[in-house]
Amino acid sequence: MNEKLPIAIVGGGPAGAFVAELLAAAGKEVVLFDERLAWEKPCGGGLTHKALTQYPFLGEVRAESKFIRRCELTSPKGRSARFELRHPLAIFSRLALNGLLLERATRAGAEVRKERVTGISGGPREWQLTTPNAHHRAADLVLAAGARNPFRSQFATAISPDDLMVTAGYFIPGDSSLVQIQFLKNISGYIWVFPRPDHVSAGIAAKMGETSTADLRRQLERWLRENNFCLEGARFYSHILPAFRAQTLDGMKVCGAGWMMIGDSAGLVDPITGEGLYYALRSAELCAEALLAGNPSQYESRLGEEILPELRLAARVSERFYTGQIFGESVLEKVVSLTQQNQQIRDLMGDLFAGIQDYQGLRSRLLRILPGLMLESLRGRFPAQMAGPIKNPS
Ligand SMILES: Cc1cc2nc3c(=O)[nH]c(=O)nc-3n(C[C@H](O)[C@H](O)[C@H](O)COP(=O)(O)OP(=O)(O)OC[C@H]3O[C@@H](n4cnc5c(N)ncnc54)[C@H](O)[C@@H]3O)c2cc1C
């Protein structure tokens, strides 16, 4: 007899919960395992306008998120630029976001089990998953167990420390309506403050090996004190974040016979900003489409066409962004001072925050803005009578 086995999903974060929903809604038998189900995963919780437009149900649950329109960027030397976001950033508590997505998966018909998967054996068409309570069998396997995915090395290569960022942060009781980003000296990362409905998520990220978690925590605490945040009642967190190098993304394996890897477990995170929620959802969608088409390898090719070129470019630019120099100044100082000075740069920054300006189109947009910037800089550098003729050649 040909027994019909379900599709097993390991991990019920945004990636796992969303793929479970899509597959179950299309009539597939799905069982999802998560050791905690909905939980406050260490995260900023920021969702871009692009993500909200592509997945409108996320924008409809206003009570679960805070929509923020004001942003402040501060350079390592303390220059600040404040600007309005044309498209707000939605900031979710992860408890609420994960709960929402898991509930949708359950409603679509997926079986959601609060169990830790401790072992995977077998192969295509008959995987065996071990949990503390039972053994389960599955025809296909979707690995969505996050950055700490314990099964990664069994299917692909383990994540190298050179492809990771470390983060430390606090969930702080209180209210704010301003997203704050503080760039730092000697650190390829930043401090962020993301206001949520009833608290703020503040954190710091750096490339693994640049400094210790204890030092990051100290730097964050000092900055929070200096910026009048009170840590009384705040809860500390620390986690890792994939930030794959271009060469890692080049040779990456995300699926094989009977298995697929999505979200953080596949390393699908923007290595400059740390944005991973959009990629978790989109990779889940591409994975579901490939499984429903009966052509799992389509997942790899769609990822290669749509997501990986952007992440690869970000990986190549990342080092220059955080440590490079331009016109005798650090890139970070220049970015903040240009944002301070120029409306077109502020619009561009806003579109980056909204996720609607991709890295591939950034260069040509900057080239279009450049003549105006040079003109402004000439006006600033020379007395008005010298700048005058350029402004009004007649
Ligand atoms: C500090 C920090 C801040 C961030 N801020 C942002 C942000 O503001 N915006 C943004 O877009 N991205 C942000 N990210 C990235 C974002 O958190 C991730 O990209 C996103 O959570 C990935 O979703 P996922 O479903 O792939 O993995 P996860 O959310 O990590 O989910 C994995 C799930 O698998 C479960 N699991 C793991 N192992 C097992 C097992 N053996 N058995 C059963 N279950 C298991 C876990 O319990 C977990 O629920 C941030 C990340 C960090 C660390």
- Confirm whether 211 is domain-assigned: yes
Counting ligand 1 atoms within 8 A of each CB, the residue from 41, 111, 143, 235 with the most, and so the one to mutate, is: 41
The pLDDT of 312-334, averaged and rounded, is 93
The confidence score (pLDDT) of residue 122 equals 96
Q: Is 16 in the pocket of ligand 1 (CB under 6 A)?
A: yes
- Confirm whether 391 is domain-assigned: no
- Confirm whether 319 is domain-assigned: no
Domain count along the chain: 3
Q: Is 198 exposed, middle or buried (0-12, 13-18, 19+ CB in 10 A)?
A: exposed
Query: Rounded CA gap, 131 and 114, in Å?
Result: 10
Query: Rounded CA gap, 33 and 364, in Å?
Result: 45
Give the range of the structural domain holding residue 342, as residue numbers without chain letter: 324-380
| Centre of ligand 1 from the C-alpha of residue 61, in Å | 20
- Confirm whether 2 is domain-assigned: no
- Confirm whether 388 is domain-assigned: no
- Confirm whether 61 is domain-assigned: yes
Name the domain boundary from 260, 294, 313: 313
260 and 120 in a single domain? The answer is yes
pLDDT at 90 over 80: yes
Query: Rounded CA gap, 85 and 346, in Å?
Result: 9
Q: How confident is the model at residue 171 (pLDDT cuts 50, 70, 90)?
A: very high
Q: Is 48 in the pocket of ligand 1 (CB under 6 A)?
A: no
260 and 234 in a single domain? The answer is no
- Confirm whether 174 is domain-assigned: yes
Q: Which DSSP string do the residues of 50-73 spell out, in sequence order? A: HHHHHSTHHHH-GGGEEEEEEEEE
The pLDDT of 311-320, averaged and rounded, is 95
Q: Is 269 in the pocket of ligand 1 (CB under 6 A)?
A: yes
46 and 139 in a single domain? The answer is yes
251 and 178 in a single domain? The answer is no
Q: How confident is the model at residue 303 (pLDDT cuts 50, 70, 90)?
A: very high
Q: Length of the chain in residues, anyone? A: 394
pLDDT, tens digit (0-9, with 9 covering 90-100), for 145-161: 999 999 999 999 999 99
Q: How confident is the model at residue 327 (pLDDT cuts 50, 70, 90)?
A: confident
CB 259 within 8 A of CB 144: no
Q: Is 145 in the pocket of ligand 1 (CB under 6 A)?
A: yes
Percent of the chain with pLDDT over 90: 88
Q: Is 204 left (phi over 0), alpha (psi -120 to 50) or beta?
A: beta
pLDDT at 8 over 80: yes
Q: Is 275 in the pocket of ligand 1 (CB under 6 A)?
A: yes
The confidence score (pLDDT) of residue 382 equals 52
Q: Which atom of ligand 1 is nearest to the CA of 263?
A: 26
103 and 32 in a single domain? The answer is yes
Question: Atom 21 (ligand 1): residue with closest C-alpha?
Answer: 277
61 and 136 in a single domain? The answer is yes
Q: Is 274 in the pocket of ligand 1 (CB under 6 A)?
A: yes
| Centre of ligand 1 from the C-alpha of residue 173, in Å | 22
The confidence score (pLDDT) of residue 201 equals 96
123 and 230 in a single domain? The answer is no
48 and 131 in a single domain? The answer is yes
| Centre of ligand 1 from the C-alpha of residue 17, in Å | 11
pLDDT, tens digit (0-9, with 9 covering 90-100), for 105-148: 999 999 999 999 999 999 999 999 999 989 999 999 999 999 99
Q: How confident is the model at residue 381 (pLDDT cuts 50, 70, 90)?
A: low
The confidence score (pLDDT) of residue 376 equals 74
Q: Is 267 in the pocket of ligand 1 (CB under 6 A)?
A: no
| Centre of ligand 1 from the C-alpha of residue 41, in Å | 6
- Confirm whether 330 is domain-assigned: yes
Question: Atom 31 (ligand 1): residue with closest C-alpha?
Answer: 13
232 and 166 in a single domain? The answer is yes
Q: Is 276 in the pocket of ligand 1 (CB under 6 A)?
A: yes
| Centre of ligand 1 from the C-alpha of residue 13, in Å | 6
Tokens of 16: 């796992």
| Centre of ligand 1 from the C-alpha of residue 102, in Å | 14
| Centre of ligand 1 from the C-alpha of residue 146, in Å | 5
Q: How confident is the model at residue 164 (pLDDT cuts 50, 70, 90)?
A: very high
CA distances from 254 to 110, 156, 219 (A): 23, 8, 36
Percent of the chain with pLDDT over 70: 95
Name the domain boundary from 269, 294, 313: 313
134 and 54 in a single domain? The answer is yes
Cβ neighbours, 10 Å, residue 43: 25
238 and 266 in a single domain? The answer is no
pLDDT, tens digit (0-9, with 9 covering 90-100), for 20-68: 999 999 999 999 999 999 999 999 999 999 999 999 999 888 778 999 9
Q: For residue 245, how many C-alpha atoms fall within 13 Å in the half-sphere facing its CB?
A: 10
Name the domain boundary from 223, 242, 261: 242
pLDDT at 384 over 70: no
Q: How does the average pLDDT of the chain come out, rounded? A: 93
| Centre of ligand 1 from the C-alpha of residue 172, in Å | 20
CATH number at 213 reads 3.30.9.10
Query: Rounded CA gap, 207 and 243, in Å?
Result: 8
The amino acid occupying position 327 is F
39 and 186 in a single domain? The answer is no
